[in-house]
Chains A and B, each alone.
Chain A
Amino acid sequence: KNQVEQSPQSLIILEGKNCTLQCNYTVSPFSNLRWYKQDTGRGPVSLTIMTFSENTKSNGRYTATLDADTKQSSLHITASQLSDSASYICVVTPTGGADGLTFGKGTHLIIQP
């Protein structure tokens, strides 16, 4: 069964600090991996997308990396801001089942002033 595991489940850091969120998956073969940000009370919003041939993708202070050999991805947040407080969800799309997305349960990130 295709799975996506995220760690840590929750994380609290001080404003201005960096952090890294992890995503391990068993989906294979896979087409792309996407990181979503979900603010409290809202729907998820896409941050980055990477295909299996890409190693890194940046979106402002967010940088996602992908190691297709070890089936691991990470999302690094630089110089965190209070607005980064949210849940971050890793989503993997399998090849041939472009719509059969597999979602992780997310990492709940809290930025403290």
Chain B
Amino acid sequence: DAGVIQSPRHEVTEMGQEVTLRCKPISGHDYLFWYRQTMMRGLELLIYFNNNVPIDDSGMPEDRFSAKMPNASFSTLKIQPSEPRDSAVYFCASSLRSSGNYNEQFFGPGTRLTVL
């Protein structure tokens, strides 16, 4: 298995532009997570899905952020309009729910977003 795949790996955009980040989870995994990582705040959970359904989006910073999972093999995180403070590394992770809460999350390589 290729693991979790994210694209693009790097994105540089100007303030006000729309940004779309993409994720392909590990085949067979039923949970998908979006995270944001900065030096100041570390890793923050933005939203997660179970069987393509959003379960908890309380970590989404504001209405400019939206996420979708149209099928089991694809998810997007969209920022519109983007702002300089959105600059961070965005990770996607997936897991297979198992008993005992041993559901290890497998992370993708991340997308480094820079908003000028």
Chain B interface residue count, CB cutoff 8 Å, equals 25
A25 near B: Cβ within 8 Å? no
Interface residue range, chain A: 20 to 34
- Which residues on A are within 8 Å of B, measured CB to CB? 31-32, 34, 41-46, 49, 51, 89, 93, 95, 98-101, 103-106
B26 near A: Cβ within 8 Å? no
- Are A99's CB and B42's CB within 8 A? no
- Are B56's CB and A99's CB within 8 A? yes
- Are A31's CB and B43's CB within 8 A? no
A49-B102, A106-B42 are contacts. A43–B4 as well, Cβ < 8 Å?
yes
Q: List 27 A-B contacts (CB under 8 A).
A: A32-B102, A34-B104, A41-B110, A43-B4, A43-B91, A43-B108, A43-B109, A43-B110, A44-B43, A44-B91, A46-B104, A46-B105, A49-B104, A51-B100, A89-B43, A93-B101, A95-B101, A98-B97, A98-B103, A99-B31, A99-B48, A99-B56, A100-B45, A100-B56, A101-B45, A103-B45, A105-B41
Which residues of B lie under 8 Å from residue A106 when comparing CB positions? 42
Add 12 more A-B contacts to A93-B101, A101-B105, A105-B41 (CB < 8 A): A31-B101, A42-B109, A43-B110, A44-B43, A44-B91, A44-B107, A46-B104, A98-B101, A99-B33, A99-B56, A101-B45, A103-B45
- Which residues on B are within 8 Å of A, measured CB to CB? 4, 31, 33, 41-45, 48, 50, 55-56, 91, 93, 97, 100-105, 107-110
